[in-house]
Amino acid sequence: MNTETTPFGNWNYPTNVRFGVGRISELADICGTLGIRRPLLVTDPGLAPLPMIADAVAALEAAGLPATVFSDIQANPVAANVNAGVNVFNSGGHDGVIAWGGGSAMDAAKAVAFMAGQLRPIWDFEDIGDNWTRADTDSICPIIAVPTTSGTGSEVGRASVITNEETHTKKIIFHPKMLPQTVICDPALVAGLPPNLTAWTGMDALVHCLEAYCAPGYHPMADGIAVEGLRLVNEWLPKAVSNGADLEARAHMMSAAAMGATAFQKGLGAIHSLSHPVGAIYNAHHGLANAVFTPYVLVHNRAAIEERLERLARWLGFAGNGFDAVLDWTLELRLAFEIPHTADALGVEEHRLPELAQMAAEDPTAGSNPVAVDTDAMLKMYRAALVGGL
């Protein structure tokens, strides 16, 4: 693939982003700009032994920036992972964090950078009310984000999703300073992602944009970002899945992922509400779970979102009824990517549906669903997803 055709640029929304093939070479310079002299590179166990990590550590060492790698992170990070990272950070005298990887590594890394100087337990900073004001802001260390997937967009987010092991619930930990100071979006780092993970993370980006667009409330800037993110997903995700070496497709999907995370400051919805408990209990991949639950939530929300999806279908160039065209698009993508149609493929068990429904109704994303949802509504959608009933 000719890298001359891939997007390249710098921008400062919602944070400083250096975008383009080869931009990872600027990592040491960015550390210097942010005053980081001894970085802790936080990644996941799958990435830790790869050459890209060794190369980054070597480049940092050559620049006089000794780095330590921490990778004791689960696919859905838990508080114990964060605590272990904090211990490594503090014992090693580190002064900044490089968050390198997909959503799990990003979330854990941002939480480590945030919690390294806090005296309260992490759950005291759950994204409820003004809990974030409890934090010692001055002790939050700088973060550089290097995404290697194109889904969560956590690299441009001000929060982390961490699972409470005791309650098996996902919690959103929030603080404005959890937003990385600089992001390096280098499409070459995503090129090795397998087709299934490319599809699952890409569907996550789609859901972020779609739920943000459908969330109630007036936020035309978020709506515009979400719509363009959906256009990029529609045009480029199938190409990225079919040819992982297509750096142009990889680049546009990196943009779509960041756009979804930027747009969902407006809100998310029941797709995430249903996915979070399933991820916490069954350790299901978040993007895959979102993809499975998407059509059932769209059908449940139809009355409230039909007009919006009519406009969206026109913008995306879909033929036919707007709502049905968007629904069919999501179903066709799932079929093309061999994503299962029913929730039993995620491990969901019928006897646990009432428990899951209660957890989903209490999830913070439920409050911005276009239709008010309670435990009964969540149970109805879980049951539909388990049998494949649309």
pLDDT tens per residue across span 126-184? 999 999 999 999 999 999 999 999 999 999 999 999 999 999 888 999 999 999 999 99
Which of the listed residues 171, 189, 207 is the one where a domain comes to its end?
Answer: 189
**What local confidence, expressed as pLDDT, does residue 1 receive?**
47
CA distances from 286 to 43, 44, 156, 274 (A): 18, 16, 18, 10
pTM: 0.95
99 and 155 housed in the same domain: yes
Which of the listed residues 173, 189, 205 is the one where a domain comes to its end?
Answer: 189
Which of the listed residues 167, 189, 211 is the one where a domain comes to its end?
Answer: 189
276 and 330 housed in the same domain: yes
The answer to whether the CB of 381 falls within 8 A of the CB of 292 is no
199 and 338 housed in the same domain: yes
225 and 183 housed in the same domain: no
83 and 145 housed in the same domain: yes
64 and 145 housed in the same domain: yes
Q: Dihedral through CA 237, CA 190, CA 156, CA 172, nearest 10?
A: 90
CATH assignment at residue 274 = 1.20.1090.10
Ranges of the chain with pLDDT below 50: 1-2
CATH assignment at residue 83 = 3.40.50.1970
The phi, psi pair for 166, rounded to 5°, reads -75, -40
Number of domains into which the chain is organized: 2
Q: Which domain holds residue 107?
A: 3-189
209 and 167 housed in the same domain: no
337 and 241 housed in the same domain: yes
**What local confidence, expressed as pLDDT, does residue 168 receive?**
87
109 and 133 housed in the same domain: yes
**What local confidence, expressed as pLDDT, does residue 320 receive?**
85
The answer to whether the CB of 238 falls within 8 A of the CB of 336 is yes
287 and 347 housed in the same domain: yes
136 and 89 housed in the same domain: yes
220 and 328 housed in the same domain: yes
**What local confidence, expressed as pLDDT, does residue 346 receive?**
98
**What local confidence, expressed as pLDDT, does residue 361 receive?**
98
Per-residue pLDDT tens digits for 87-101:
999 999 999 999 999
